[in-house]
Amino acid sequence: MQAEETILEELKPTRLPGKEMALSITHLYKSFGDNHVLIDFNLQLNRGENVAVLGKSGSGKSVLIKCIIGLLKPDKGSINILGRDIEDLSLRELDEVRTRVGFLFQSNALYDSMTVRENLEFPLRRHWIKLTTAERNEKVTEVLKNVGLVHTIDMLPAELSGGMRKRIALARTLILEPEIILYDEPTTGLDPITGKEISNLIMELGEKYNTSAIIISHDINCIHRTADRIVMLIDGKCYADGTYDALKNNNDIKVKQFFE
Partner 1 sequence: MVLPNTWQRFLDETGGMSRFTGRFFSQAFKPRYEFSEFIRQCFIIGYKSLPLVGLTGFIMGLVLTMQLRPSMISYGAESQLPAMVGIAIVREIGPVITALIFAGKIGSSIGAELGSMKVTEQIDAMEVSGTNPFKYLVVTRVMAATFMLPVLVILGDAISLYGSYIGVNIRGVTSFDLFFKQVFDALSFDDFFPAFIKTYFFGFAVGIVGCYKGFNSNKGTEGVGRSANSSVVVSSLLIFIIDLLAVQIIDLFGLN
Ligand X SMILES: Nc1ncnc2c1ncn2[C@@H]1O[C@H](COP(=O)(O)OP(=O)(O)OP(=O)(O)O)[C@@H](O)[C@H]1O
Question: Which stretches of the chain bind ligand X, using CB under 6 A?
Answer: 32, 35, 37, 55, 57-63
* 71-130 residues near partner 1, rule: CB under 8 A: 71, 91, 95-96, 98-99, 101, 103, 105, 107, 109-113, 122-123, 126-127
Binding residue for Mg ion (CB under 5 A) from 59, 62, 173, 199? 62
Q: How far is the CB of 178 from ligand X (least distance, A)?
A: 21
For Mg ion, give the closer residue by CB, 57 or 90: 57
Among ligand X, Mg ion, partner 1, none, what does residue 170 contact (CB within 5–8 Å per kind)? Answer: none
Q: How far is the CB of 27 from ligand X (least distance, A)?
A: 18
For partner 1, give the closer residue by CB, 31 or 106: 106
Question: Cα separations (Å) of 60 from 34, 125, 152, 256?
Answer: 14, 34, 35, 20
- Contacts with 165 (C-beta within 8 Å, 6 or more apart), sequence order: 108, 110, 157
Nearest CA among 224, 228, 193, 221 for reference residue 207:
228
Among Mg ion, ligand X, partner 1, none, what does residue 123 contact (CB within 5–8 Å per kind)? Answer: partner 1
- Measure the CA–CA gap between 149 and 143, rounded to whole angstroms: 9
Q: How far is the CB of 75 from ligand X (least distance, A)?
A: 13
Give yes or no for residue 204 binding partner 1 (CB under 8 A): no
Q: Specify whether the CB–CB gap between 238 and 59 falls below 8 A.
A: no
237-241 own/partner pairs: CB under 8 Å, 24+ apart: 237/39, 237/40, 237/41, 238/8, 238/11, 238/41, 238/42, 238/43, 239/7, 240/6, 240/7, 240/8, 241/6, 241/8, 241/14
Q: Specify whether the CB–CB gap between 112 and 182 falls below 8 A.
A: no
For ligand X, give the closer residue by CB, 180 or 216: 216
Q: Which residues bind Mg ion (CB under 5 A)?
A: 62
Q: Which residues bind partner 1 (CB under 8 A)?
A: 69, 71, 91, 95-96, 98-99, 101, 103, 105, 107, 109-113, 122-123, 126-127, 176
